[in-house]
Structure 1
Amino acid sequence: MDAKNSHINYVEFKAKDLEETKEFYKASFDWTFKDYGPTYTAFSDSGLEGGFEKTDTAIVNGALVVLYHSNLDLIKSRIMEAGGKITKDIFSFPGGRRFHFADPSENELAVWSDK
């Protein structure tokens, strides 16, 4: 895919444990990973490429990345089974529904659906 000016091209997160983080996103969303040394892993098969950088400091998440899934109940269940925590249960908004979750490193993301 060609990069386009002014389009989101990559997203990067911090992670306390890279292996735990990779296992979580693989189990929940079937993402794939490529390691670049002991402190960085890149992900793909997510709709947008990005990476996780290992950190030992507290993680403060200033951005909310929103993923899409047509079946919120199914993906919510997969997230919880993989060790994620629901931080805001499913709620409706104009145009759809969504919920928020925290991954094992406490990054907060959301999943929405128009279904």
Structure 2
Amino acid sequence: MFEIDFAEFPSTSAAASGRFFERAFGWPVTPYGPDYTDVRAEGLTLGFQSNATEQARAPLVTIRTDDLAAARKAVEAAGGVVTREPFAFPGGSRFHFREPGGSELAVWTPDD
């Protein structure tokens, strides 16, 4: 299973980004400390990262899977290059990759 269910954005204030979407659209917000906030939109979660050392250069579309290792093999077999090794975060694990056209994306799996 592969589905896009998450997009991460760089932000100067994760808390302010979360408050904006909550006020503007009524979407629920889950803060994960001062530098990260999730906003749950219809069928898609938007993440806002304000820690400059952790930010992607552009919005980061994230693909959900049930098998992170198999997804990595599929990405590499199709010509993708892993740009960040798998790492854990609150709620799951993910890795980042660059597809042949140059865009960076991520694949994640939730904790069981």
Kindly indicate which of the two structures has a greater share of residues assigned to strand: 2
Q: Which TM-score applies when normalising by structure 1? A: 0.46
